[in-house]
Amino acid sequence: MNNPLKIVADENMPALDTMFNGFSVTRVAGRTMSAKDVETADVLLVRSVTQVNEALLSRAKHLKMVGTATIGMDHLDQAYLLDRGIPFFNAPGCNAEAVVDYVLAAIHNLLPEDFPLRGLTVGIIGAGNVGGRLQKRLSLAGVNTLVCDPPRALAEGEEGFTRLDTLLSKSDVVCLHTPLTTVGSFATYHMLGEAELRLLKPGAVLINAGRGPVVDNQALSRVMDQRNDLIVALDVWEHEPSVDKDLADKVALGSPHIAGYSLDGKLRGTYMLRERLSELLGIAAPPPLRELLPLAPISSVTVTESASVLDVISVVYSVVSDDRRFRRSLSAVNQAASFDLLRKNYPVRREFSTLTVNGVVDPYKRQLLSAFGFNLSPVSTYVPSE
Ligand SMILES: NC(=O)C1=CN([C@@H]2O[C@H](COP(=O)(O)OP(=O)(O)OC[C@H]3O[C@@H](n4cnc5c(N)ncnc54)[C@H](O)[C@@H]3O)[C@@H](O)[C@H]2O)C=CC1
Ligand SMILES: O=C(O)C(=O)[C@H](O)COP(=O)(O)O
């Protein structure tokens, strides 16, 4: 390319040089990206922490594309982009597997060991890429699910969908996977306020890995003061990167918005934008993603008969380590900066599907692990050691 197109990208996007070989790539801190940073950009690539709006883009006169390597789009002023005629793209489903891995890890950590998962009812609010995959994995594991997704119910018919109040009062575990929206009949901002939170069953588990403001955090804090039976896991927070420390102290698991942070998911997000750019410019597609993904550092494990499902999950992903790091960051002088630092320096995490598990004989454990996405070697190939 004689005059390589100028790409301005969030510095936290992996493999930019490999994927955008031949382009001129400038990396910028996403949270503080300014109008000056992007004024000469042909292509802007962001993550969820950059507000893409008139204030950022008014000086950028050559923009041919804006891409966000995320599922969520609530940080894009879509009306402004449409008005300017700037094509914009997200990366639907890119890190959905990782979020489901996080939810399953959280459920297994929060429920007592050997709790019969089969007897649970899991309520899923928002059944798109993430919630839909979660429902599939849980159903394969024999777990009962309830789904609340009014936009889908409207489009597809009510059958198979549950009202929000019914779901909240009947589920042992409630998982939130809606986008953050503030307008329209299905707006999700503060969808769970005090009244809704009070509907939760005694001892219910509530997991929010969608967007922080979908739950009214102040209301949650108040309700938790009165209901110490509730078990809450929050990966996302209202007013991120600032965290309400009082609320953080009350939750059973906390993390700095990393549910989707598998290496696979991050690379997939960037890759999907690279594909969109190829289509837009009519240039060659990038090499297949599998050629860019490194091998998982642990791709196979042999477990003993006594190993639990949580033991296997923990080989790939420890939600408890995320919680520990997050709690330490709360006492930092600059808590918000520490939140972002944890995200920037997040350890390499791979998805459940990268691990092959040997030695599992118990049929129920096999069903669960296979439903959750692990690869299981056939029982016949397992030779117990002396
Ligand atoms: N914590 C994290 O690291 C991550 C968080 N996310 C968040 O999760 C959200 C969901 O991701 P996907 O499943 O890929 O999005 P998606 O767009 O595929 O699915 C969202 C679903 O929510 C439904 N929905 C919309 N309004 C609703 C309402 N009022 N009540 C119930 N359901 C409603 C939609 O109909 C749709 O089926 C993203 O928008 C993003 O905000 C996504 C990835 C990572
Ligand atoms: O994909 C989404 O939507 C997410 O929430 C991302 O996982 C958030 O990651 P960052 O874009 O904030 O790095």
Give the distance, in angstroms, between the CA of residue 91 and the centroid of all CA atoms in the same chain.
12
Helix (H, G, I), strand (E, B) or coil at 253: strand
Q: CB of 96 closer than 6 A to ligand 2?
A: no
Residue 1 has pLDDT above 60, yes or no: no
Is 80 marked within a binding site? Answer: no
CA neighbours closer than 13 Å in the CB half-sphere of residue 259:
31
| Ligand 1 centroid, distance to 10 Cα (angstroms) | 23
Instruction: Please report the sign of the dihedral spanned by the C-alpha atoms of residue 349, residue 354, residue 360, residue 366.
Output: positive
Give the distance, in angstroms, between the CA of residue 384 and the centroid of all CA atoms in the same chain.
37
- For the ranges 84-93, 110-119, 285-294, 298-307, the lowest mean pLDDT is seen at 110-119
Render pLDDT for 188-217 as a digit per residue (tens, 0 to 9). 999 999 999 999 999 999 999 999 999 999
Catalytic site residues? 211, 240, 257
Helix (H, G, I), strand (E, B) or coil at 66: strand
Residue nearest to atom 4 of ligand 2 (CA): 70
Residue 119 has pLDDT above 70, yes or no: yes
Render pLDDT for 261-317 as a digit per residue (tens, 0 to 9). 999 999 999 999 999 999 999 998 888 998 889 999 999 999 999 999 999 999 999
Residue 379 has pLDDT above 90, yes or no: no
The C-alpha angle 355, 315, 288, rounded to 5 degrees, equals 35
ipTM over 0.90: yes
Is 271 marked within a binding site? Answer: no
Render pLDDT for 124-172 as a digit per residue (tens, 0 to 9). 999 999 999 999 999 999 999 999 999 999 999 999 999 999 999 999 9
Tokens, residue 1: 């390319």
Residue 207 has φ and ψ, to the nearest 5°, of -125, 120
Is 50 marked within a binding site? Answer: no
Task: Show the DSSP H helices in the chain as ranges.
Answer: 16-19, 35-38, 54-57, 78-84, 96-110, 129-140, 150-156, 164-170, 194-197, 217-226, 245-250, 263-281, 309-316, 319-330, 335-344, 363-371
Render pLDDT for 325-356 as a digit per residue (tens, 0 to 9). 999 999 999 999 999 999 999 999 999 999 99
Residue 223 has φ and ψ, to the nearest 5°, of -65, -40
Q: CB of 150 closer than 6 A to ligand 1?
A: yes
Q: Cα–Cα distance between 239 and 241 in angstroms, integer? A: 6
